[in-house]
Amino acid sequence: MNPPPEPEPRETDDHWGDLTAEPRGVDYVEVDHGLRLVPHGTDGGRAALLCLHGGGFVSGSVFTHRKLYGHLAKAVGVPALIAHQRHTPEHPYPAQLDDALAAYADLVSQGFDRLVLVGDSAGGGLAVTAARAARARSLPAPAALLLISPWVDMAVSGDSFDINAERDGFFYRDVVRELAAMYLAGRDPHDPGANPLHADLTGLPPMFIQVGADETLLDESRMLEKRARDFGVEVRRDVFEEQQHTFQMAAGRAPEADDAIRRFADWVRPRLER
């Protein structure tokens, strides 16, 4: 099946997906809550990935990230759903959380009972928030969390914004503060509903965090790891030297990205067999 036609993206999305090679043997089907990714031979199981895309909540789509998550779904050997997420500033918090939970509940209603929440950048923080909220809404807990360069601190407090300012090619403290302000729309940046670093993380599933050593969001992953461990959560965090924010977007073109995808797949596969 050919990839679906892509709608006109926001300007910041233009050619974003060109970074990633087209994964072979993956079909794409548009559904109510997003884009379904079906690696050949994976239909009929009860495990799936729910993928929440990055873009600072202001951009990104199921189309900008379909190839990245196609590579991951193929490596894990299960289907995936990339959730539609509304954008800020038109739709601030909790719109994106509601979108993620609607997609999660839909997968549960279809009989998927071994779900992995996956997210990159803003989607990484959203995945953590959604895992907490699923419990509050009496939805089954996910089996694991896979987090790529997660943006979790709406207070934008990490020292790596200064330490890595000259190495990070994408994000600066002032830019991320603006993104956070659009997302929060006047809420306290320490609100535990939007900032996992100030939330009770008790009962979260095992999480695997990947982050580039040269990115300004490096400290966010460190702080999330500590916060999660403080609440008894199993955490693995891999720091990739000389890598940028969400370098996994180069899957199929860069060996570092392919290695990262393999690490995710090798780690999560046994957790879907339990």
The pLDDT value recorded for residue 6 is 41
> Active site residue: 87, 215, 220, 221, which one?
215
pLDDT of 45 strictly over 50: yes
- Please tell me the number of Cα atoms within 13 Å of 249 on its side-chain side: 22
Q: Does the pLDDT value for residue 212 go beyond 60? A: yes
Average pLDDT value for residue range 154-172: 94
- CA angle at residue 238 from 235 to 244, to 5 degrees? 130
Q: Does the pLDDT at position 3 exceed 60?
A: no
The share of the chain scoring above pLDDT 90, in percent, equals 89
- β 34-39/26-31 pair status: antiparallel
Position 11 scores a pLDDT of 53
Question: Given 61, 121, 160, 221, which residue is catalytic?
Answer: 121
Supply the pTM of this predicted model.
0.95
Question: Whose structure tokens read 């199981």?
Answer: 45
pLDDT digits (tens, 9 = 90+) for 233-263: 999 999 999 999 999 999 999 999 999 999 9
Of residues 219, 223, 212, 215, the one with CA closest to residue 159: 219
Q: Is 200 exposed, middle or buried (0-12, 13-18, 19+ CB in 10 A)?
A: exposed
Task: Give the whole-angstrom CA distance, residue 19 versus residue 95.
Answer: 28
The answer to whether residue 2 scores a pLDDT higher than 80 is no
Q: Which of 239-271 are b and which e, b meaning 16 or more Cβ less than 10 Å from the residue's Cβ?
A: ebeebbbbbbbbbbebeebbebbebbbebbeeb
Sign of CA dihedral 59, 7, 53, 131: positive
Q: Which has more pLDDT, 136 or 243?
A: 243
pLDDT tens column, 91-134: 999 999 999 999 999 999 999 999 999 999 999 999 999 999 99
pLDDT of residue 17: 81
Pure H helices in the chain: 66-76, 95-109, 122-136, 160-163, 173-184, 218-230, 255-272
Tell me if residue 245 is catalytic. Answer: yes
Residue 274 — pLDDT band, cuts 50, 70, 90? low
Q: What percent of the chain has pLDDT over 70?
A: 95
Residue 121 designated active-site: yes
Alpha carbons 196 and 129: distance in angstroms, whole number: 6
- The beta-strand segments (E) located in 20-113 are 26-31, 34-39, 47-52, 80-83
Q: What is the pLDDT of residue 4?
A: 45
Structure tokens at 96: 């994106």
As a whole number, the mean pLDDT across the chain is: 94
The model's confidence at residue 14, banded by pLDDT at 50, 70 and 90, is low
10 Å CB burial of residue 90 (0-12, 13-18, 19+) is exposed
Look at residue 223 in the predicted model and tell me its pLDDT.
Answer: 98
Domains of the chain: 11-272 (3.40.50.1820)
Q: Which two tokens stand for residue 58?
A: 């202001």
**Has 215 been annotated as catalytic?**
yes
Question: How would residue 21 be classed by pLDDT, with cut points 50, 70 and 90?
Answer: very high
- Residue 120 pairs in a beta bridge with 148
The predicted-structure confidence for 68-88, as pLDDT tens digits, reads as follows: 999 999 999 999 999 999 999
Q: Which of these, 110, 133, 130, lies nearest to 48 by C-alpha position?
A: 110
Residue 7 binned pLDDT confidence (cut-offs 50, 70, 90):
very low
Query: Mean pLDDT, to the nearest integer, of 131-147?
Result: 96
Round to whole Å and give the CA distance between 26 and 21: 12
Is the separation of the CB atoms in 174 and 203 below 8 Å?
no
What is the Cα–Cα distance from 124 to 145, expressed in whole angstroms? 9
